[in-house]
Amino acid sequence: MATKEDIRSSRRLQRRTLAPEQILAAGEAIAQHGVAWAETISPGPAATYAVYVGVAFEPPTLPLIEALHKAGHRVLLPVCEPGRQLSWVYWTPATLFVRSAYAPIDEPEGERLESSVIAAIAGIFMPATAVDRDGNRIGQGGGYYDRLLQGLDASGQRPPTIAVVYDDDLLPSGSIPAEAFDRPVREVLTPSGVVRLDDTAGTV
């Protein structure tokens, strides 16, 4: 079995072959399917979702963020903190971004909320480099989201969680080695739709 780093490197190389128009189309499709998923789990017409800003060759998520906002939902974006912890800032179209002190990304400015806020939201859109059909996920290697999910799982307050990848990043069962600290996902959001890993024939 390939190591996580081998898989991460391979997927990153594959993503770099995508043309700008393919990336743009992926972002638009992810927004459409992501809002549909959000509305299936929303406790009401105005719910809160945790999202992230896809950068470089990651699946674009800004169209999803904007679509959720347009639909009347609130969006929390992550900020990297010491000890591989995350805090969260509410996004609006006026939100400004600054370079992170801990990761090669831009992060939102604004009041930072502790991760305990995530326990009460409607759902989490998570970054991933790859996911296999067992639900094992490879992130960017920082471990921020595994720590977040570990805390939510321990408290029994984990909201519905979906990993965002390109279609080719969904790998066959057994492709990704699982470690004790890993937290699997049960749904994956791709440009082609939502894949439920407990029923991989179903997409929306």
- Does 198 map to a domain? no
Check whether 137 is labelled as a binding-site residue.
Answer: yes
The annotation status of 167 as a binding-site residue, yes or no, is no
User: What's the residue count for the chain?
Assistant: 204
Average pLDDT in the 141-155 region? 85
User: What local confidence, expressed as pLDDT, does residue 204 receive?
Assistant: 41
Q: Has residue 200 got a pLDDT over 50?
A: no
Domain count, the chain: 1
Angle at 154 between CA 184 and CA 174, to 5 degrees: 15
- The answer on whether 34 is annotated among ligand-binding residues is no
The answer to the question of whether 143 is labelled as a binding residue is yes
Residue 204 included in any domain: no
Q: Is 28 inside any structural domain?
A: yes
Q: What is the pLDDT of residue 51?
A: 97
**Any binding-site annotation on 58?**
yes
6 is in an annotated binding site: yes
Is 156 flagged in the annotation as binding? no
Torsions phi, psi of 62, nearest 5?
-60, -40
Confirm whether residue 27 is marked as ligand binding. Answer: no
Residue 98 lies in domain: 4-193
Q: Is residue 127 part of a domain?
A: yes
Task: Name the pLDDT band for 156 (thresholds 50, 70, 90).
Answer: confident
In a domain, 104, yes or no: yes
Query: Was 90 annotated as part of a binding site?
Result: no
**CATH code where residue 9 lies:** 3.40.50.10420
The answer to whether residue 135 is domain-embedded is yes
Is the residue at 62 inside a domain?
yes
Confidence class of residue 43 from pLDDT cuts 50, 70 and 90?
A: low
Does 107 carry a binding-site annotation? no
Q: What is the mean pLDDT of the chain?
A: 90
Say whether pLDDT at 172 is over 60: yes
The reply, when asked if residue 53 is annotated as ligand binding, is yes
**pTM higher than 0.75:** yes
Give the tens place of pLDDT for each residue, 75-101. 999 999 998 899 999 999 999 999 988
Q: Is 114 annotated as a binding residue?
A: no
Judge whether 144 is annotated as a binding position: yes
Question: What is the DSSP secondary-structure string of 120-185?
Answer: GSSEEEEE-SEEETT--EE-SSS-HHHHHHHHHHHHT-PPPEEEE--GGGEEPTT-S---TT----
Report pLDDT for 18.
94
The rounded distance, in Å, linking the Cα atoms of 47 and 74 is: 6
- Segment 124-135, tens digit of pLDDT: 999 999 999 999
Q: Which of 55-59, 84-88, 161-165, 179-183 has the lowest mean pLDDT?
A: 179-183
- Does residue 144 belong to any structural domain of this protein? yes
